[in-house]
């Protein structure tokens, strides 16, 4: 059986091995194209337990780990099976995408589909499909048509991830299955994570002296999201947990065979930069379902929510009204931004929490939406609209055609805060319906990305992160937190963090406030986030007067939000990172540091031949005392050069490198 939606660009080397050969205990091995990563599968001689293991450079990164599905009112599927056949192939393709960290994207791997069956009645079947890339491996369950019944009700997976030794772990611990995924990452020994803790993905781990690996998932469709728990019996093991259905909490997935699980992904590299550069999650998703993607245009947006009802030197009352929105549209036009996001409170008022229960087909009296849309069009700026997900679920069949008629660019959908099977399907329904009406989507209040942006490239970004907004009510968004996000949350895909806070203060001066919020760390740090963090739809968070006249505004105007190439130049988990991204012939380089600061060397070997001009926005010498102070410098460079970056506590540096005319 070929899995639903499984496609090969280039297939070769297909063969089937006899059941008598594969029923023996020798592992079936699948190697990456460069031969450095191997994933192997085998069954235990006595119990028939199906297991897998992963090695890197010939050393184990995951030891024999159980595979299986806990199906309601049935024995575990995967315990007591024999491998009967396997089919090998290769994928070697490249594809273009409207937005991402690389374009074109290379998708090159070796694959295998392993068929197993229970020797005893009822002879249930289970297939495992695996892929091996040069930067990781992935596998998924394929439930074939069963001998007696097509209905499948999955309670949980028995999937394990058993490390060869204790490791340094960087978990995001969530309180339950219904959260916004907005919390701080921690640093702890794997053995020190309590078994009752619910670990979100992507989950970064460091094996001493061996490698970095991150566990996540890709292509969640007709399924629920997966989490991890630390085993109560094995200090080196992690166990899968599926988000339960709200309508039937005793199960997580309800469907009919044939049924495919999401891909269980293990990113692997000698350095964390390999994981950050990877496109593996995106590659594991089906190709674009949208034939004409010319209308999908990444860009930056002025945003009226983060600052609260605050502005300076204006002659109107600031708030959720037409005058304020026009002021932000003017700023977007002058700064060269493509969009303005009109956030919550624009629609006819509802009665539910967080502005739910609104009528998203009409505006409240203080917002003249037709006039705003006309005005924005005259300024060559397009408008996005915010909506609570419950209103989208209730009204999208009516609202989305209206938005297309009005010329709305996209919709920010908020407060989903779960990834059970129903909600996963809702994300896909929204993406599909939006694409039918040429609308782009930003999923806020969302679970982690799973590569959906390949199939529906109109889904530009999503939240699933403790972002800059938390400065309005907490002191949790520190420079250390920002650095950690580059190594953790960003591995899953685009991240709607909303950078650009320009009221920059030292930690001891910080006060959480809802109106005119502050940020910890330097202005150069906030500027560099536009390179370090990837989001094809990027909010420039602060109010217009925070940017007018600043040295950094030209950089914010110029920096793209989608890229042709990404390279990690410096990386130490939690301490500092430097990422270089290319768009066309221009390179942008962002460096940020945590509370220890950093002195970095930035080799320019990634540049092509010829001469370039490097313009840098750096921490001023006194930025540790006055975090808003920066220094702008220009110099001629070529690929033989090495630039220095001295980052203060919570500091940063942004750089634009362009060919010398």
Catalytic residues: 414, 469
User: Rounded to whole angstroms, what are the CA distances from 263 to 43, 85, 359, 426, 432?
Assistant: 21, 21, 38, 19, 21
> What phi and psi, each to the nearest 5 degrees, are found at residue 355?
65, 20
Assign 3-class secondary structure to 9-68: CCCCCCCCCCHHHHCCCCCEEEECCCCCEEEEEEECCCCCEEEEEEEECCEEEEEEEECC
**Residues 6 or more apart in contact with residue 23 via CB below 8 angstroms:** 43, 82, 83, 84
- List Cβ<8 Å contacts ≥24 apart for 16-19: 16/85, 16/86, 16/87, 17/85, 17/86, 18/85, 19/82, 19/83, 19/84, 19/85
Calpha distance 424→446 (Å, rounded): 10
Farthest-apart Cα atoms in the chain, separation: 83
Question: Tokens in use for 649?
Answer: 């506590």
Contact status, residue 124 vs residue 66, Cβ threshold 8 Å: no
Contact status, residue 555 vs residue 540, Cβ threshold 8 Å: no
The SS3 assignment for 88 reads strand
Distance of CA 645 to the CA centre of its chain: 28
Q: What's 353's DSSP letter? A: G
Closest CA to 209 of 174, 162, 164: 164
Task: Give ∠ CA 508-514-519 in degrees, rounded to 5.
Answer: 40
**Residues 6 or more apart in contact with residue 232 via CB below 8 angstroms:** 195
Calpha distance 602→95 (Å, rounded): 30
> What phi and psi, each to the nearest 5 degrees, are found at residue 548?
-55, 130
Calpha distance 611→608 (Å, rounded): 9
Calpha distance 599→580 (Å, rounded): 17
| Cis amide bond preceding 104, omega within 30 | yes
Task: Give ∠ CA 405-411-414 in degrees, rounded to 5.
Answer: 150
Calpha distance 630→643 (Å, rounded): 17
Instruction: Tell me whether residue 189 is exposed, middle or buried, using C-beta atoms within 10 angstroms of its C-beta: 0 to 12, 13 to 18, 19 or more.
Output: exposed
Residue whose token pair is 């590569």: 451
| Cis amide bond preceding 202, omega within 30 | yes
């Amino acid at each position: 059986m070929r899995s639903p939606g499984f496609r090969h660009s280039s297939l070769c080397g297909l063969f089937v091995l006899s059941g008598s050969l594969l029923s023996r205990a020798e592992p079936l091995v699948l190697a990456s194209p460069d031969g450095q990563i191997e994933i192997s599968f085998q069954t235990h001689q006595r119990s028939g337990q199906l297991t897998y293991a992963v090695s890197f450079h010939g050393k184990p990164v995951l030891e024999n780990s159980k595979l299986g599905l806990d199906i309601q009112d049935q024995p575990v599927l995967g315990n007591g099976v024999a491998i009967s056949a396997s089919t090998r192939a290769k994928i070697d393709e490249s594809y273009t995408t409207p937005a991402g960290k690389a374009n074109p994207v290379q998708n090159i791997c070796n694959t295998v589909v392993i068929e197993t069956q229970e020797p005893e009645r009822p002879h249930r079947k289970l297939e495992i499909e695996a892929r091996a890339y040069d930067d990781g491996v992935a596998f998924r369950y394929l439930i074939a048509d069963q001998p007696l019944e097509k209905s499948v009700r999955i309670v949980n997976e028995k999937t394990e991830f058993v490390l060869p030794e204790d490791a340094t772990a960087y978990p995001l611990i969530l309180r339950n299955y219904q959260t916004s995924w907005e919390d701080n990452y921690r640093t702890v020994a794997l053995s020190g994570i309590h078994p009752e803790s619910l670990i979100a993905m992507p989950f970064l781990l460091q094996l001493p002296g061996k490698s970095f690996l991150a566990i996540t998932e890709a292509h969640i469709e007709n399924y629920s999201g997966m989490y991890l728990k630390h085993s109560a019996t094995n200090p080196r093991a992690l166990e899968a947990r599926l988000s339960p259905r709200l309508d039937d909490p005793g199960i997580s997935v309800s469907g009919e065979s044939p049924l495919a699980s999401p891909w269980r992904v293990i990113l692997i590299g000698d350095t964390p930069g390999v994981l950050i550069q990877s496109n593996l999650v995106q590659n594991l998703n089906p190709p674009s379902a949208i034939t004409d993607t010319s209308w999908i245009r990444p860009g930056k947006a002025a945003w009226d929510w983060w600052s609260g009802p605050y502005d300076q030197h204006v002659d109107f009352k600031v708030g959720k009204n037409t005058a304020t929105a026009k002021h932000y549209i003017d700023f977007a036009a002058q700064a060269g931004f493509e969009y303005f996001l009109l956030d919550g409170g624009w629609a006819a008022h509802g009665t539910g929490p967080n502005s739910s229960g609104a009528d998203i087909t009409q505006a409240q009296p203080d917002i003249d939406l037709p006039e705003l849309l006309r005005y924005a069009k005259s300024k060559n700026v397009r408008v996005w609209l915010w909506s609570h997900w419950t209103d989208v679920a209730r009204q999208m069949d009516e609202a989305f055609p209206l938005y297309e008629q009005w010329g709305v660019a996209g919709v920010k959908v908020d407060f989903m805060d779960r990834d059970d099977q129903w909600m996963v399907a809702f994300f896909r329904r929204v993406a599909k319906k939006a694409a039918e009406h040429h609308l782009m989507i930003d999923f806020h209040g969302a679970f982690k990305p799973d590569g959906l942006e390949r199939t529906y490239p109109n889904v530009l970004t999503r939240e699933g992160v403790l972002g800059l907004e938390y400065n309005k009510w907490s002191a949790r968004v520190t420079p250390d937190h920002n650095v950690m996000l580059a190594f953790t949350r960003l591995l899953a895909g685009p991240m709607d963090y909303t950078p650009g806070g320009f009221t920059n203060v030292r930690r001891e001066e910080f006060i959480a406030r809802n109106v005119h919020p502050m940020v910890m760390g330097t202005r150069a740090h906030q500027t560099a986030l536009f390179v370090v963090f990837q989001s094809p739809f990027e909010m420039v968070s602060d109010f217009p007067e925070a940017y007018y006249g600043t040295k950094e505004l030209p950089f914010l105007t110029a920096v793209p939000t989608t890229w042709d190439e990404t390279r990690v130049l410096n990386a130490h988990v939690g301490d500092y990172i430097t990422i270089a991204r290319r768009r066309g012939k221009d390179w942008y380089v962002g460096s940020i540091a945590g509370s220890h600061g950093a002195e970095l060397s930035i080799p320019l070997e990634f540049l092509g031949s010829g001469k370039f001009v490097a313009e840098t926005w750096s921490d001023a010498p006194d930025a540790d005392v006055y975090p808003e102070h920066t220094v702008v410098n220009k110099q001629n460079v070529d690929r033989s050069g090495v630039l220095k970056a001295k980052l203060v506590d919570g500091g940063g540096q942004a750089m634009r490198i362009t060919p010398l005319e």
